[in-house]
Amino acid sequence: MKIYDWHTGPYPARVRIALAEKNLQSRVSFVSVDLRKGEHKTPEFLAKNYSGTLPVLELEDGTLIAECTAITEYLDNLEGIPTLTGTTAREKGIIHMMSKRAELELLDAISVYFHHATPGLGPHVEIYQNVEWGLRQRDKAMRGMQYFDAVLKGQSFVAGESFSMADITVIGGLIFADLLKVPVPAECVALQAWYGRMNQRPSVRNRIAMSDPARISG
């Protein structure tokens, strides 16, 4: 399998964490797509992923799977019992609900802030920017942090009492926020404590080192 991604990207981090949680690192090679150069918007890459986003999983038969949730679902069900996306109908429903909320209320909002209210990836990629909209989305992301803080006051993980894809999505949002120096509000004590614990997980801590030069192509 191949993973097309960028080593420090918050969205690629979601799949890298999932790979490590499933102990599948040895079964993939990484193809570096330079976001700063806009390589994800070239015709060659758009032929692989119409959305022009990272990451993308390419299977041995040439099948291409984009979108972090879809890739994680595939990896989690590749062999053995799923551990990240739920095993019962109830677990699956809650995990997917909370992961989607993490995208809408935190990760995607931070992404919009980055692309609209900061220099983003530069003028060759950021063809249109709406600063006011970007700032509104930054504020939305901070409200999202407050929501997840409230959730984590009552349970150990985002979707209940087990680590799941929903946690990975919130981690991706906070990685992005860290990169942009958007702080978790001081009053979000539960979220801060949870994030501290998550950063101690080997899958989170070692996500960048996973793609050492010997295993990167492209």
- Interval 21-34: pLDDT, tens: 999 999 999 999 99
- C-alpha span between 109 and 100 (Å, rounded): 12
Domain boundaries, position 197 = 89-201
Between 212 and 39, name the one with better pLDDT.
39
> What average pLDDT does the structure give for the chain?
95
- C-alpha span between 133 and 139 (Å, rounded): 10
Phi/psi-derived region of residue 207, left when phi > 0, alpha when psi is between -120 and 50, beta in every other case: alpha
Q: Do residues 101 and 21 both lie within one domain?
A: no
Q: Do residues 53 and 132 both lie within one domain?
A: no
Closest CA to 31 of 52, 4, 60, 58: 4
pLDDT of residue 124: 87
* CATH number, domain containing residue 121: 1.20.1050.10
**pLDDT tens, 90-100?**
999 999 999 99
Number of compact structural domains in the chain: 2
pTM for the full predicted model:
0.94
pLDDT of residue 211: 64
- C-alpha 122 chain-centroid distance: 21
Q: Do residues 164 and 139 both lie within one domain?
A: yes
Confidence of residue 217 (pLDDT cuts 50, 70, 90): very low
pLDDT of residue 121: 95
**pLDDT tens, 104-143?**
999 999 999 999 999 999 998 999 999 999 999 999 999 9
Buried b / exposed e along 75-99 (16+ C-beta atoms within 10 A): bbeeeeebebbbeeeebbebbbebb
Q: Do residues 94 and 176 both lie within one domain?
A: yes
